[in-house]
Structure 1
Amino acid sequence: MSASDLGDAATGGERGHARSAVARLLERVPAREDLAAAAARLAAGAVEQRGDAASAFVFRLGEEWLGLTTALVDEVLELRPVHRLPHRHDAALRGLVNVRGRLTVCVALPALLQTGPAPAVRGGARRLVVLAAPEGALAFEADEVHGSLRYPLDDVRAVPSTVAHAVARFATGVLPWGERRVGLLDADLLLHALDRRIS
C-alpha cells in the first residue's frame, strides 16, 4: 500500500469517526436541565417577539440607579466644561455645554430628584448624557452610565415607600437588576418639570 493510500485510509477513518461522533450526539437523549435551558431561551425570545419587553437607558445619580426610555437618549459623551448663565440661580439649571458645536442646556437632575451626593468612584466614570427632548436637546451629568437594558414588562414592580420622595414622584416603577434596583422614570413628567424650572 502506498503512502497516499495510507493517507486516504487515515482520512476515511477520521471521517468515519467524526460521523459516528455526530451520530452519537444526535441520538443522545437531552438531559432535563438542557431541555429546561432551551425552553427558557425560547420563552425569552418569545417575550421579545410579543413586544412584552421594554428598553431603558440605565445610569446612576448619587446612590440611585435610574432608567429613562432608551429612545430619549441621543448620545453619551465625555464631560466637558459647563458655562454658567448669569442671573440664573435655579439649582436645576447647570448652564450651557458645547455639544458638537451647538450650545445645549445642561440640567442638574440630582437637584430635581434630590438623589444626594455621589459616592467616591474611580476616575472617569462620570459622563454627559444628551437627551433628544421634543422642545430641544438637553444634557445632564451622570455619575455612572450602564447603557441600554432590555427587560420584560412583568419584571417591573411598584415603587416602594422607601424610595426617596422626589424620585418616587417621577418614577413609574422599580426594576430589579441583580442586587440593585433601577427606578424607571416617567420621561414626559421629568421633561415637563425641567421645562418649568429652566424656562
Structure 2
Amino acid sequence: MNPTDDGSPSHGAGCWSRIGVTGDGSCELLTQHAHCRNCGEYAGAALQNLARAVDDGYLREWAEHFRAPETRDERLDSSSVVFRIGREWLALPTAMFVRIAPHTTPHRVPHRAAPGLRGVVNVGGRLYPCVSLAELLGIGEDGGESRQGRHTFARLLLVQWEERAYALPVADLHGIVRYAATRVLPPAATINKGLLRYLTGVLPEQDMRIGCLDAGLVGHQLARTLR
C-alpha cells in the first residue's frame, strides 16, 4: 500500500482491491459509502475502462460476432400422426386421434352406399363406421413400399371429429412426428388434384415428403358419409 502524508492508505487505481471491500477494508470512505461501487473512485475507474482505446483484434472479433447469422432453436409447435395409403405418406393432427387398432374387415351396412363408407368395424366392443380415406381423397390404395428396415402392418386409425369417431384403414403407420410449423412447404402443383384440395402443405421428414391433411376438410367429408 502507498500511504498518504498523514499515514492513511491512499486512494487511486485499484484501491477497492487494496483497502476496499475486496481488500483489507481499511478505507475510511467505507463508513460513508458502505460499498466501493457507491464511491466516486470506483465510478471514475469504470468510465476510464469504457473509454479505453481498443485494438484491431478486438474490433475484428466483435465484427465477426455480429456478422454471424442468428441461430434459433426450432420450436416444435405441431404434432401429427403419419401414415401411408398406397404411395402417399399423409398426416393428420395428433389431437384427432382416439387410438390405433389392428386392421379388421368391415361389415357392410345394408342400404348405405355413401362414397367412402366401407361398413362398420368392432374395436374393443364398440362399433365404428369404417371410411376409406383413399376413396375420399381420390388416391389409389395399391403400390407403395414400407420404409427400409421396417415391417409393414395395415392399421385402423380411430379418429374423432366433432362428436363422432371413425375408423380409417391405412396400409402402414409411421407414428407421431413433432415438427415446427415453419417447416411445412406449399404443396406442389403436380400433386393429384383430388388430394391437393385437402392439403395444407407438405412436410419434409427424413426420406419422406408427407402431405399434411386439413383436419376440417377431412372431418367434413367423414361426416358426409353418414348422412
TM-score higher than 0.5 here? Answer: yes
Corresponding residue of 1:197: 225
Report the alpha carbon displacement of residue 124 of structure 1 after superposing the two structures with TM.
Answer: 5.5
Question: Which letter does structure 1 place at the counterpart of 2:103?
Answer: L
* Cα distance change of structure 1 residues 111 and 65 upon mapping to structure 2, 3 Å threshold: same
Corresponding residue of 1:59: 83
Corresponding residue of 1:152: 180
Report the alpha carbon displacement of residue 198 of structure 1 after superposing the two structures with TM.
Answer: 2.7
Match for 2:73 among 22, 25, 43?
43
Residues 152 and 171 in structure 2, CA contact (< 8 A), matched pair in contact too: no
Q: Which has the higher helix share?
A: 1
Match for 1:112 among 136, 143, 146?
136
Q: Give the aligned CA root-mean-square deviation in angstroms.
A: 2.0
Alignment of 1:7-156 (within 5 A): 43-44=73-74, 47-48=75-76, 53-119=77-143, 125-156=153-184
Unaligned runs of 5+ in 2: 1-69
Please give the secondary structure, in 2, of the residue aligned with 1:191.
Answer: helix
Please give the secondary structure, in 1, of the residue aligned with 2:92.
Answer: strand
Please give the secondary structure, in 1, of the residue aligned with 2:187.
Answer: coil
Q: State the distance in 1 between where 2:174 and 2:144 align.
A: 17
Please give the secondary structure, in 1, of the residue aligned with 2:135.
Answer: helix
Q: State the distance in 2 between where 1:105 and 1:197 align.
A: 9
Q: What is the number of residues matched between the two proteins? A: 154
| Deviation >3 Å, runs of 4+ | 120-124
Query: Larger RCO: Structure 1 or Structure 2 (Cα < 8 Å, ≥ 6 residues apart)?
Result: 1
1:22-57 Cα offsets, whole Å, 9 max, x none, are: xxxxxxxxxxxxxxxxx98x824xx24xxxx20111
Unaligned runs of 5+ in 1: 1-38
Q: TM-score, normalised by structure 1?
A: 0.71
Q: TM-score, normalised by structure 2?
A: 0.63
Q: State the distance in 1 between where 2:186 and 2:144 align.
A: 30
Report the alpha carbon displacement of residue 179 of structure 1 after superposing the two structures with TM.
Answer: 2.5
Residues 118 and 143 in structure 1, CA contact (< 8 A), matched pair in contact too: no
